[in-house]
A and B are shown apart, each in its own frame.
Chain A
Amino acid sequence: MAKIEKTGQAGTLESSDIMITVVPDKSGIQIELESIVMPQYGDAIRATIEKIMKEQQIEGIRIKAIDKGALDCTIRARVLTALDRAGAEIREVLA
């Protein structure tokens, strides 16, 4: 398992986007989520973020996500970019 070294951020607060901030933490994966579609997609967004952490084998991270109705592909792109900016080595994952 890998850790990130610093804070990384990606995305905006525009509609249909999601702003992701990743911060190093002691252990585990903590997700703080705000979303305008929380009742409909809150669980799906969490699952997407968790899946990326698993694929990238990252632990010891706190993820703040402010979602304005982003699609899954957008969420993936923003999370991966935030990880990259936080110094994680991004692995290619073949779907």
Chain B
Amino acid sequence: MKNQLGREIPEAIAKNRLLYAGAFGTEPTMRRYAPQVKRILPGQSKLVDNIEDVFKKIPVKSGMTLSFHHHLRNGDGVLNMVLDTAARLGIKDLKIAASSIFPVHAPLIEHIKNGVVTELDTNYMSGVVAQAISHGILAKPVTMRTHGGRARAIECGQLKIDVAFVAAPAADDYGNINGTQGLAACGSLGYAIPDAEYAEHVVAITDHLEEYPLTPVSIEQTRVDYVVKVDSIGDPKGIVSGTTKITKDPVGLRIAENAAKTIEAAGLIRDGFSFQTGAGGASLAAAYFVRQMMEKKGVTGSFALGGITGYMVEMLESGLFKKLLDVQGFDLEAGRSIAKNPNHMEISANFYASAFNSGSAVNRLDAVILGATEIDTDFNVNVVTGSDGVIMGGSGGHSDAAAGAKVTIIVSNLLRGRLPIIVDHVLTATTPGETVDVVVTERGIAVNPLRPELKEQLLQAGLPVREIHELKELAEKMAGVPKQIETGDRVVAVVEYRDGTVIDTVRQVKD
């Protein structure tokens, strides 16, 4: 069966799921999920000696769904710790709902081989686990969601969590948690908030116990059943996301400058401007150019959103933005700021990006700058699979921010290595073209034909506007036309759009 983007979804996948029907084509029909109500008596303690004892108290059984959040990123120690315990206790057939999976989670592969883990649900995965999945290590396809989509699935009862394990940089003995104190302070705990709200059982794993009551509180005692003190929940050095420096590459700088000029030409550099950008070199460079424009015009923006970097903190502190809405810190500077600045606010994944609530922050974005591994001539974007067909990422907030923002800009080199980035059909559709407005490359800017007024604005500003087909041909003239890669037939991942519909599938790679 084909979905609205023309992607072929195998019958076996399609029969229990809704297919993508347009970015805003599917409406919610359910009531919010409600976990079992419970109580705790005066004098009862939540402190448990170790994870094994928590497993016995709950009790954690084979077939359950355990959830994890990724604020400690590639420094996370909690997921591995918990699954080691499960393996030791002979528990099998677990579904792991982790908001992201990083190279540090390599031991997952052994747990999959041994049948401890038989299902994965995540928004992003990179490294050896993603490679193993692409080579077919799991019998059941992985569900890949957006950050907003995961919050939606939890709230709507489509992702039911038996036990949420919260990596707590600081906690007290009655389950109050924050991410701003302790050795592994990571800042916002935004992605863990829906888990804590809707899971049947919530366990705080901490290496930093504070005296009761802990303040400030990100996740409240009313939702937390157990507190376990361990030696270390992870390595704070692993929190820092890849590159957090502005690129020095002249091509990257040119792209960034043109992305900023696109925002200016759209008339958005004005008081009240709201903005999201990633932590990659070119995205950060775009923030640099946006900043120059704001300073020159004496503009005060409203808010910056998303994963927050030290650069955004600098812009807040210089008065260029009034607020930061932070679902996750990308570096330690972001963590320090959220701890002390009341205008730097922690928000949940639900607040950030869910499509099915009474309004998420992405809906209030003027402009977002995003990356891509491939873009097709219908402006659909792939951020899930690499040029070899192997999973190397995921939407994260990509589709959410693209759907919400007034102007969504994809920045990319025309060629990555030898590979043209603009293709006829992306291998894995992640973010639909109708939510993408502009593609900025070093050789020109393509505007989605759905936005003729925006194209007019860019032309009037003297920007190098080209048709997307022209850019594709230009790249192929330099690099030659690439052969399509071949994939296997078996589906290893189902890519869900933010509303829970199937936007595409990922097939096993050929060995």
Contact = CB atoms under 8 A, between A and B. Distances in A.
Contact of B478 (A15, A36, A71): A71
A71 B418 contact: yes
Given A16-B417, A69-B419, A43 B483 contact: yes
A39 B387 CA distance: 9
Most buried by B among A40, A41, A70, A71: A40
B485 interface: yes
B388 interface: yes
Contacts of B388: 39
B480 A69 contact: no
A71 B418 CA distance: 6
A71 B479 contact: yes
A44 interface: yes
A64 interface: no
Nearest to A69: B417
A2 interface: no
A65 to B, nearest CB: 13
Interface string A41-76: 101100000000000000000000000111110000
Highest count of chain A CB atoms <10 Å: which of B387, B416, B417, B478: B417
B482 interface: yes
B382 to A, nearest CB: 15
Contact of B483 (A15, A41, A72): A41
Given A69-B418, A69-B419, A70-B418, A37 B478 contact: no
A18 to B, nearest CB: 10
A68 B482 CA distance: 15
A40 B478 contact: no
Given A68-B417, A69-B417, A69-B418, A37 B387 contact: yes
Nearest to A35: B418
Interface string B475-497: 00011101101100000000000
A43 B485 CA distance: 13
Given A44-B480, A71-B478, A37 B486 contact: no
A37 B480 contact: no
A39 B480 CA distance: 13
Contacts of A36: 417
A41 B387 contact: no
Contacts of B482: 37, 40-41
Nearest to A48: B480
B412 to A, nearest CB: 15
Contacts of A71: 418, 478-479
Interface residues of A, number: 14
Contact of A39 (B416, B417, B486): B486
A5 B387 CA distance: 39
Interface centre among B388, B479, B486 (most CB of A within 10 A): B479
A16 B418 contact: yes
Interface string B455-493: 000000000000000000000001110110110000000
B247 to A, nearest CB: 15
Contacts of A72: 479-480
A93 B418 CA distance: 25
B480 A41 contact: yes
Contacts of B483: 39-41, 43
Contacts of A43: 483
Interface string A11-41: 0000110000000000000000000110111
A78 to B, nearest CB: 14
A36 B387 CA distance: 9
Most buried by A among B416, B478, B482, B483: B483
Nearest to A67: B418
A71 B388 CA distance: 18
B171 to A, nearest CB: 45
Contacts of A44: 480
A41 B417 CA distance: 12
Nearest to B482: A40
Contacts of B486: 39
B131 to A, nearest CB: 15
A41 B416 CA distance: 13
Contacts of B416: 69
A31 B388 CA distance: 22
B261 to A, nearest CB: 27
A39 B509 CA distance: 12
A54 to B, nearest CB: 19
A69 B418 CA distance: 5
Contacts of A15: 417
A89 B417 CA distance: 31
Residue with the highest number of chain A CB atoms closer than 10 Å, among B388, B418, B479, B483: B418
Contacts of A40: 387, 418-419, 482-483, 485
Contacts of B478: 71
Contacts of A69: 416-419
B420 to A, nearest CB: 9
A21 B416 CA distance: 25
Contacts of A39: 387-388, 483, 485-486
B487 to A, nearest CB: 10
Given A37-B417, A37-B418, A71-B478, 7 more contacts: A16-B418, A40-B485, A41-B479, A41-B480, A43-B483, A68-B417, A69-B417
Interface of A: 15-16, 36-37, 39-41, 43-44, 68-72
Interface of B: 387-388, 416-419, 478-480, 482-483, 485-486
7 contacts: A36-B417, A37-B482, A39-B485, A39-B486, A40-B387, A40-B418, A44-B480
